[in-house]
Structure 1
C-alpha cells in the first residue's frame, strides 16, 4: 500500500505577494523619511547658531515670553524657527501618508476607512492648511514639539509594521510601539492643538471668524476628546500584547 501523498502546500496568490512587498517597501521608505525629519529637527534644535542662520532665509523677529527661563531662551528661539529648517520637508513626508487611505480601499490592510481617512486628513490640514499658511504657526515653538512627537512615533510605527510583514518583531520594537504613546500622544496632540490656537483671531466678533477659523477652532476644542479615544485604544492594545505590569525587555504574551 503506497503512502499517502503529502497535502499540497497552500501558497498565497502572486497578487498578495506583490501587495506585501509593496507594503514592506512603503513602510521602510516612510520610516526613512521620518528618520530624516527627526534628524534634521534634532540637528536644528541643537545648533546654537540656528536662529541667526536660518534655512531658506526664513527670518522674522522672535518673541520670547518673560516666563521663559534665561537658560532656555536659546532653545526657545531655535524651537521657534523649526519650521524654517524642516517645515516643507515635513509636509512632503506627511503627504505620502495619503496612500494609506488607498491601502484600506484596495484591501491591502484591514483598518477602518473612516478612522484612517480622518487621521490622514487632519495631519495634511495641519501641514498644508495651517503650518504652510500662517506665520504664527510657523513661529510657534510648539511646532517643534509637534514634529518631534510625530517623527519619533512614525519611525517606530512604520518600522514595526515593516517588521511585522516579514515576521520580524524584536521585543524592544514591540515595547516601543506599545509604550511610547504614553508620552508621544499627549505631546503630539497637545502641540497640534496649540499650534492651531495660535492662528485663531484674537477678536471674538463674528466678522473676524471665517470658515477656516471655525474649522481650526473646532480642531482645537476636539483635540482632548480625540486624544482620549486614541489613548484608551492604545492602552487596550497594549494590554492585549503584554497584560499589565510589564516592562522593557519583557516578552509579549504568546498567542
Structure 2
C-alpha cells in the first residue's frame, strides 16, 4: 500500500531549482490528494447507494487512472526529486498497477463485484488522502500534529485491509485468468499472479511495514527533541 519520504530539508535561501522542485511537488501532492478524495467519496456513495457489486462499474475507471498517475512516483525516486527508497516505491506502485490493469482491467471476472474491491479502494483512498495532504503541507511548513498523527498511525489498520483485499482480488481472479480466451497469455498471466501471491506479497508487505515503522520512529524522535 506508496510510502514517500519528505524531500530534502528546506534551506533559508533556497536555490531557484529547489523552489521549482518544491512548487512542483506541492502541485503534484495536492492534485493527488484531491483525486483520491474524489475516489473515496464516490466509492463510499456508490457502495451505500447501489451495493458492493456496482462499485467497480461506477468508479473503476476513475480508480484505475488515479492510481496510474502514481507511476510518476517511480520517476521521482529515480531522479532524486524525493528521498523515497526506490524499492519501497516500486513495491507499492507495481502491486497496485498489477491490480487495476491486468487483474481487473484486462480479464473480466466476478471479482469486480467482490466486497474486497470496495475495501481495497477505501483503504487505498483514505491512505492516499492523508499521505498526499501530509506531503503537500510538509513542503510549506510543519504539518499540524493531527495530520502527522494520521499519517504515522492509520497504516496499522489500513495496510492490512489493503494488502488482504489485494491478495483476495488476485486469488479470486486466477481461475478466470487461466481460462481466458487469450490462451497462452491467460496461463502465463495466472502463473505470474500466483507467483505474486506466494513470492512478492509476503516480502513486499514486510518492506512496506518496516519502512513505515522506521518513518514513524523518526517522527516520534523529532517530537521528543522539539519538546526538550
User: Is the pair's TM-score, using the shorter chain for normalization, greater than 0.5?
Assistant: yes
- State whether residues 88 and 208 of structure 2, in contact with CA within 8 Å, keep that contact through their aligned partners in structure 1: no
Contact 1:130 1:137 in 2 (8 A): no
2:146 is aligned, of 165, 172, 176, to 172
| Alpha-carbon distance in structure 2 between the residues aligned to 1:151 and 1:82 | 14
Residue of structure 2 equivalent to 1:230? 208
Q: Determine the C-alpha separation between the residues in 1 that align with 2:40 and 2:153.
A: 19
Off by >6 Å, runs of 4+ in structure 1: none
For the residue of structure 1 that corresponds to 2:175, the secondary structure is coil
- Structure with more helix by fraction: 2
Cα–Cα, structure 1 residues 123 and 175, in superposed 2: closer, same or farther, change >3 Å?
Answer: same
Q: What's 2:69 paired with?
A: 96
Aligned length: 210
The equivalent of 1:107 in structure 2 is 80
The answer to whether the Cα contact below 8 Å between 1:171 and 1:252 also exists between their aligned partners in 2 is no
Deviations 1:102-140 (A, max 9, x none): 112222111222332332122112111111123222122
Seen in structure 2, the aligned counterparts of structure 1 residues 252 and 128 have a Cα distance that, compared at 3 Å, is: same
Trace 1:1-255 onto structure 2 (pairs within 5 A): 11-47=13-49, 50=50, 78-133=51-106, 134-201=108-175, 210-221=187-198, 222-242=200-220, 252-254=223-225
- Aligned equivalent of 1:66: none
Q: TM-score, normalised by structure 1?
A: 0.75
Give the C-alpha shift of residue 223 in structure 1.
Answer: 2.3
Stretches of structure 2 that go unaligned for 5 or more consecutive residues are 1-10, 179-183
Deviation at 1:211, TM superposition (A): 1.3
Report 1 or 2 for greater relative contact order, CA contacts < 8 Å, sequence distance ≥ 6.
2
- Hey, what's the Cα distance between the residues in 1 that align with 2:32 and 2:12? 31
Cα shift readout 1:130-158 (whole Å, capped 9, x = no counterpart): 11123222122100000000000000000
Larger radius of gyration: 1
For residues 224 and 123 of structure 2, the distance between their equivalents in structure 1, rounded to whole angstroms, comes to 28
Kept after mapping to 2: 8 A contact 1:80/1:143 = no
Q: Give, in whole Å, the separation in 1 of the partners of 2:59 and 2:123.
A: 14
How large is the Cα RMSD of the aligned pairs? 2.5
Q: Is the 8 A contact 1:38 1:151 kept in 2?
A: yes
Q: How far apart are residue 10 of structure 1 and its match?
A: 6.1
Deviation at 1:232, TM superposition (A): 3.1
For 1:113 and 1:160, the matched residues in 2 are separated by 20
Per-residue deviation at 1:253? Answer: 2.6
Match of 2:8 in 1: none
